[in-house]
Amino acid sequence: MNPRKPSDSYTMMTEIVLPNDTNVFGNLMGGRLMYWMDIAAAIAAQRHCNAPVVTASVDNISFENPIKLGNTVHIEAKVSRAFNTSMEVHLRVWGEDFTQQYKYKSNEAYYTFVALDPNRNPRKVPGLVPETEEEVRLFEGAIRRRQLRLILGGKMNPDEALELKALFIKEK
């Protein structure tokens, strides 16, 4: 299985915020945005592994700026690291106000997907070869984010998280 590049999975999804997408303040509802992010991230993961995928986890999503009614939402997604059967997908979300003619960052997040075989069992995914400085930074940080996810999900003992321990405990 040949490794892939992050650019092979790059996905840009664009939506317009309509009245049914907003809360009483005229802002895009967080749940609607997370739904769109899940779709964009799944497309990126499927592009990477050429297989169906399921969402395994969603990291913390902090909303920096609201996206208003009538604005456009741009969701950029691409695989930041591939493990054995799972992939981490990094997402960036931008709002765009055409009337005022400016774009602004709404939020960032990481989603994790597992690739499935025809029997709906996890299957191996191709490796990932980062190309840019930012892709290398995301790739290297992914192992720590993964260990944290596994600990929080009860699938890893904190004592086994060597990459995380290295951030907090200095060896003598």
Instruction: Please report whether residue 20 resides in a domain.
Output: yes
Instruction: Please report whether residue 138 resides in a domain.
Output: no
pLDDT value of position 93: 98
What is the band of 169 on the pLDDT scale with cuts at 50, 70, 90?
A: low
Asked if residue 148 has pLDDT above 90, the reply is no
pTM value is: 0.91
Q: pLDDT tens digit string along 26-74?
A: 999 999 999 999 999 999 999 999 999 999 999 888 889 999 999 999 9
Which H or E run contains 22? none
Instruction: Please report whether residue 156 resides in a domain.
Output: no
Q: What is the CATH classification number for the domain harbouring 28?
A: 3.10.129.10
Taking the C-alpha atoms of 65, 141, 156 and 34 in order, what is their torsion angle to the nearest 10 degrees?
A: 30
Q: Which of 91, 85, 80, 59 is nearest to 143 (CA)?
A: 80
Average confidence (pLDDT) over 22-26: 97
User: Which DSSP state fits 9?
Assistant: H
Tokens of residue 79, six digits: 């695989």
Instruction: Please report whether residue 53 resides in a domain.
Output: yes
Asked if residue 102 has pLDDT above 90, the reply is yes
Asked if residue 172 has pLDDT above 80, the reply is no
Instruction: Please report whether residue 66 resides in a domain.
Output: yes
Instruction: Please report whether residue 96 resides in a domain.
Output: yes
How many independent structural domains does the chain possess? 1
Average confidence (pLDDT) over 133-154: 91
Instruction: Please report whether residue 1 resides in a domain.
Output: no
Instruction: Please report whether residue 25 resides in a domain.
Output: yes
Residue numbers of the domain that contains 40: 6-130
